[in-house]
Structure 1
Amino acid sequence: MFMGEYHHSIDAKGRIIIPSKFRQPLGELFVITRGLDQCLFIYPMAEWQHLVDKLKQLPLTKKDARAFTRFFLSGASECELDKQGRINITTPLCKYASLEKECVIIGVSNRIEVWGKDAWDNYFDISQESFSELAENMLDVDI
């Protein structure tokens, strides 16, 4: 399980350090793709395969299913850590998530999310204001 919040910088070549606590559960080969809310999702290969299997079950006749699958898979790329524990994030993914200098890497159960610091701060501030309401709504799913 991935959890926690870490702050790192992305260099001019699009490389960012993955927190050491995340490296072993991530494995040698993993996938990074566009996530929701203008961040990036990183999945260990087993989690990625599970997600792709679910996407394959979506009906091709549904426009939203086709659009979501295209969006999600077209930005995906396999990654591996270099000797310094960094990954290289492609230019389109950096642009999508507005990754410039300061980034926030968070663990979210079965995935890692990479956020531009400003986007994360904005998202966190808005979500923090409604956290009680979010928690109340989650009671419907036994949390």
Structure 2
Amino acid sequence: MGDCGIMIIESGVHVMFMGEYQHNIDTKGRIIVPAKFREDLGDTFVITRGLDQCLFAYPMDEWHVLEEKLKKLPMTKKDARAFTRFFFSGAVECEVDKQGRINIPSSLRTYATMEKECVVIGVSNRIEIWSKDKWNDYVEVSEESFAEIAENMMEIDF
């Protein structure tokens, strides 16, 4: 209770990842997680195959929310089964080491074609890890059609 007899209710803290950071992945598959992302990711988080040939990383709270949504997909639908298989089969729990790095399994590095130069970006409730070449290609194509993408977002009541 506050001084005026008003009960103060703390709402859940929502994470917000944003920004773009360039890092190299070493020969053992380790990459530095930007310092600005580490606290919100937490001690343990989930990394999995993302869309557009990048990797998605979620704090555990966000992962559990997503997991509950995916559980509600109708398993009688072929696309729902395919998506959940793809998404969950690539998922692994990760921890940040004392140097601020995570170890990305070779299967995920292969999926995202990560060899040396990478880009780590914040995307609202998750981070994405891209090979630098794939990210540059994606940005180049997306910049050309950004106005059209924005217009399409308005059509879905954005």
Tell me if 1:13 matches 2:28: yes
SS across alignment from 1:37: helix
| Structure with bigger gyration radius | 2
Which residue of the partner structure matches residue 32 of structure 1?
47
Which residue of the partner structure matches residue 78 of structure 1?
93
**CA deviation digits over 1:61-115, x for unaligned, max 9?**
1111111000000000000100011000000000000000000000000000000
Which residue of the partner structure matches residue 138 of structure 1?
153
Tell me if 1:3 matches 2:18: yes
Question: Which of 70, 78, 84 is the matching residue for 1:55?
Answer: 70
TM, length-normalised to structure 1: 0.98
TM superposition shift of 1:142: 4.2
Which residue of the partner structure matches residue 61 of structure 2?
46
**RMSD in angstroms over aligned alpha carbons?**
0.8
Equivalents in 1 of 2:151, 2:81: separation in Å?
A: 33
TM superposition shift of 1:59: 1.3
Q: Unaligned 5+ residue runs, structure 1?
A: none
Off by >2 Å, runs of 4+ in structure 1: 140-143
TM, length-normalised to structure 2: 0.89
Q: Unaligned 5+ residue runs, structure 2?
A: 1-15
Of all paired residues, the percent bearing the same amino acid is 70
Equivalents in 2 of 1:29, 1:139: separation in Å?
A: 36
Q: Which amino acid aligns with 1:56?
A: K
Equivalents in 2 of 1:133, 1:57: separation in Å?
A: 32
Q: What count of residue pairs does the alignment treat as equivalent?
A: 143
